[in-house]
Every structure is written in structure tokens, then in C-alpha cells.
Structure 1
Amino acid sequence: MKLIIFGATGQTGQELVKQAIAHDHEVTAFVRNPDKLELKDERLHVVTGDVLNQEDVNAALVGQDAVLTALGTESLAYSGFLERSLVRIVNAMKVSGVTRIGYVASAGVDKELPGAQGLLAQQILKNPLRDHRQAIDLLKQADVDYTVARPLRLMNGPLTGMYRQTADGVPDQAKQINRADVAHFLLEAIEQEESIRESVGLAE
């Protein structure tokens, strides 16, 4: 399968790239700064571009089978970056005939975090969560087969495969999940055609 990954230089994005190559996919990493991507492989193609430039995104999606995005924001201020990025990506998907996309969001995007700590986290992260919410709403309105991952606190541990998932809220009494497991979930969803048009909460 030919996969294009946006946000490939981020910590979760690099896990997606690594695991996609390990699964024998042909991977295109769409990046602003190729120097940040240390992984090298004959199945990895690095494309330098601006996700907010429609021509760049259109060109990168030609010939792809599916899209994965681990784009994020760099501050707690509201920017609208994720929604504006998804506008370009969805437009390019329509032009190229690509219908499958996996999107890494965050738990709390549906105001689903329980208890006082959950309310506090949702307040602190209100602007990034708002941006994710708008991007997800865009996916839901588009005629695409999306899978949204809503992970709890992201950690840098190894792939375990021992995580829980739920389409309703977040897994009970959970606090975190390794980025490697988030990447595993999304790749499995794409490969097995699972969790289509679903938003899934993830945790250990």
C-alpha cells in the first residue's frame, strides 16, 4: 500500500513512518524540514512542502492509497492550523481519488475526559482541542472514510499492542498510551479496513 504521512517529523509521526515501513508499505513523508527525519529506507520517499499550500499537497497525493496525519500545534494558543491543513488535504484527496484517512487527535476533543482532572485538562488544552474538533468536523462532512484516534496522554514507550479502545468516551481508569501503540492502531485500521468513520478513544 502507498501511504502518505503528514506530521512525519513529530514523535507520533515518526512512529507511523517506522511501523509503516516495517509493514512493507511504500511511504511518502510530507515534511517542512527533511533534516528532522532521521530514518532512511528505500521504501521511504521524503517530500518537502507546505501543508497549507494546495499545490504542494495535491502533487504529493498523486498515486497514494491512503493518508495518515499526525499534525499538531506547537502552542496552547488557537491557530486554526489543523483545520486549515485538513481543508487542503481533503481537497487533494478529492482530486486524487483517495478516500481513506487516519487522523491523530487527542482525548478531550469530545469533552469526554471524566472527573475534575479531566475538566482541568480540557480547559488547559481548550485551544488545541478546538482546532482538532474543527478538523474532525471537516472530515465528517467530507465524503471520506476517516478513522480518528483520540489518545490519552502520549508517552514515548515501546510498542506493546496491549492497549484498549472505545468508540464511546475513553477507556475506564486510564491515563496514558505510548505513541507507538497509537501508530499501531491507525495502521491496523487502515490495513484491515476497520473503525471506518469512527472516532476511537485509546489508552493502556
Structure 2
Amino acid sequence: CRSLFQNVIWKHKGDRPSTLGDNTLIVDWMPQKDLLGHSQVKVFVAHGGTNGVQEAIYHGVPVLGIPLFFDQYDNLLRLQERGAGKILQLADLNGRTFEEGLKEVLHNISYRQNIQRLSCLHKDKPMSPMDQAIFWIEYVIRHKGARHLISEAYKMPWYSYHSFDVVLLVLAVETVLLYAIYAVFRFLCCRRKRKTKTKQN
């Protein structure tokens, strides 16, 4: 990061690395959403968690991703396929590959253009989330609790709601099948024993 012209904000716990440049600010915590919403943020280096990727898309910030586990690689791959981010594999990560990846996302304008296009698609809704919440609150008030929207599941008996009746039916069918298989094997074994005894006599 020392060779970069840009300033860097790094969430890091522990001692400050001795090789760190003066352009890097280390913080224990910072509101990520507010940081990504700042107009001067150029690149978001992240592990590819669902929330971070969604916030990056919303604010139109290209992502340099280093996936670790679970769904992170898949999340970042979706961005990379749309030209809005770049993946660095942990096994290939070193100072040179990190710097090259970071400079590519910083200086190739297509990454920012593609993520901003995704941001526009994401935000293009008939009404804002706040207006939608206000509408549904007022709707429920106008219709005195909106009983017609309550799920029919609330009228089901507890054993149906928790699928105990289905579980009992499946267990009953399995029991009958197992007993039938056991009876067939027992019949065949008894028949074989009788034939053996008959031959011996």
C-alpha cells in the first residue's frame, strides 16, 4: 500500500506492521456502509461476504475480493463475471499479486462503470424502501390489522403445523415395508431349512 498514491483505510486488530506506509490508517472498527457511501472511495478490498458485496453494489464501489470460505467465492465470482470486481485466490496471494490486482481495479475504469451500472439496476424501484414501509404500515392501520393477509398456517392444528402427521404417516409406511421385507426373508429362510431337513431325512 505504501506505493499507492491513494490513502488506505484498513480494519486491523493488533500491532501496526512496521512496513506500513504513512498513507494507511488502521482502525479497529468503522461503519462499512458509511465508508462505502463516501464519494472518494475507489476500491473495496473484501473477503466477499454477502452483506459487504451488497453494500458495494448499492454504493457502486468495485471490489477486489479475497475469498476465504462458504459462499464468499460464489459472491465474488458473480461480480467478476459482470466485470465489477476481481478475485485474488488466497493461495496465490503475495505482495506482487495484491498490488497488481489493486492497481488493475483502481486504474481500469470498466470496473467502476460496471459496478455503477449494477448499482443503478439495484436502486431502480417504484418506491424507496422507506416509502414502501410507510405504505404497508398505513395499509394495516386502514384495514384494522389486515386480517386477510394473515397466513392460513395460524389456523392449522399444532401437529399439522409442525408436520407431525406427515412424520407419523412416513414412519408407519416405513414400518410396514420393513415388516413385509422381514416376513419375506423369514419365510424364505424357513422354507430353505425345511428343504434341507427333507434332504437329510
TM-score by length of structure 2 reads: 0.42
| Higher fraction of helix | 2
Larger radius of gyration: 2
* Bigger strand fraction: 1
Q: Report 1 or 2 for greater relative contact order, CA contacts < 8 Å, sequence distance ≥ 6.
A: 1
Q: Normalising by the residue count of structure 1, what TM-score does the alignment of the two structures yield?
A: 0.41
